[in-house]
Amino acid sequence: MLKPPINRMGGKSKLRKTIINMLPDHVCYVELFFGAGWVYFGKDPAKVEVINDIDKELINLFRMIKYHAPEIKRMLQYEFSDRDIFEEYKNYSLENLTEINRAVRFLYLITQSFGSKCGNYGYGTNAVPKQQIFHTETLNDLKERLKNTYVENLSFEKIIDKYDREYTCFFADPPYFETAGYGNEFGEKEHLLLRDKLSNIEGKFILTINDNLQVREWYKDFNLKEVEVNYSVSRNEKARGKYKELIITNY
Ligand SMILES: C[S@@+](CC[C@H](N)C(=O)[O-])C[C@H]1O[C@@H](n2cnc3c(N)ncnc32)[C@H](O)[C@@H]1O
């Protein structure tokens, strides 16, 4: 199983084995909300695979790994953890950067920030800084894995329309309902659109989401499996602990 190059809030590192074991037979595998791609990098490749996320910088990173992995590796060897560099990267104007520079910037911000949120410089008193900005030893494996994959940067509903076939399996891991998101709006309206789209597909879907009464009501016509996950991204120890999630399928 490959490890993704980054952490992403809500990443499915702890649930990926469970999800992979629940995937139905498929010819075309589509991740609608790619993030760090824990499930994609852990599963066996399907004949056709598609990864999609609305975040431009995140998708640019995976594109650059696909096409320019050696150059990214070369540039990363000069990076180390530093608050001023972090602030400088944060304030860069993206239009003045090449796509490779943007990928390195994004990697730097996501790996050196608290909770991988790219906002505040991450530091600690009982952990060393992340010297290894990137797991460069696995870069070639990641590049190989991405070689036969379509990379998309659209909102999920457009991807469902494009790729839905009876042999398609959609994995949907949207932002949690009623919790902090990723910079774009994802509230009740978007969750209902997702539910309506998934309810009308020819293919199969597997969805993971936080356990919530409203969500249970929305998906009451499907199969719901309750799972417990350890959640650790918080400065506040009391906010850490076990959370319930739902895995919902239409098969
Ligand atoms: C919970 S994370 C996915 C985590 C991923 N499964 C992993 O293992 O790392 C949700 C992702 O959805 C993306 N996103 C938010 N709104 C979206 C939309 N309308 N269409 C597609 N992606 C969206 C965010 O950028 C974020 O990366």
Q: Measured in angstroms, how far is the CA atom of residue 36 from the centroid of ligand 1?
A: 9
Could you identify the residue written with the tokens 């074991």? 21
Spatial CA neighbour of 245 closest among 217, 226, 224, 231: 226
- Give exposure, 86-119, as e/b (b: 16+ Cβ within 10 Å): beebbeeeeeeeeebbbbbbbbbbbbbbeebbbe
- Residue 7 is predicted with a pLDDT of 84
Q: Does residue 235 surpass a pLDDT of 60?
A: no
Tallying the residues shown for the chain, one arrives at 251
Q: Does residue 12 surpass a pLDDT of 70?
A: yes
Of the ranges 4-8, 179-183, 196-200, which one carries the lowest mean pLDDT score? 179-183
Ligand 1 binding pocket mutation candidate from 23, 160, 182 (most atoms within 8 A of CB): 182
The domains found in the chain, sorted by start residue, are 1-50+154-251 (3.40.50.150), 55-152 (1.10.1020.10)
The pLDDT confidence band at residue 121, using thresholds 50, 70 and 90, is very high
For ligand 1, atom 26: residue with the closest CA: 35
For ligand 1, atom 3: residue with the closest CA: 35
- Residue 1 is predicted with a pLDDT of 87
Give pLDDT tens digits for 19-46: 999 999 999 999 999 999 999 999 999 9
Q: Does residue 237 surpass a pLDDT of 70?
A: no
Task: Compute the C-alpha angle 128/110/209, nearest 5°.
Answer: 110
Give pLDDT tens digits for 135-146: 666 788 899 999
- Residue 131 is predicted with a pLDDT of 60
Q: Does residue 196 surpass a pLDDT of 70?
A: yes
- Residue 183 is predicted with a pLDDT of 75
Q: What is the C-alpha separation between 205 and 199, in angstroms, rounded?
A: 9
Q: How many helices (H) and strands (E) does the chain have?
A: 9, 7
The pLDDT confidence band at residue 3, using thresholds 50, 70 and 90, is confident
Could you identify the residue written with the tokens 């790219």? 118
Check if 179 has its Cβ closer than 6 Å to any atom of ligand 1: no
- Residue 232 is predicted with a pLDDT of 61
Check if 175 has its Cβ closer than 6 Å to any atom of ligand 1: yes
Check if 152 has its Cβ closer than 6 Å to any atom of ligand 1: no
Q: Does residue 229 surpass a pLDDT of 90?
A: no
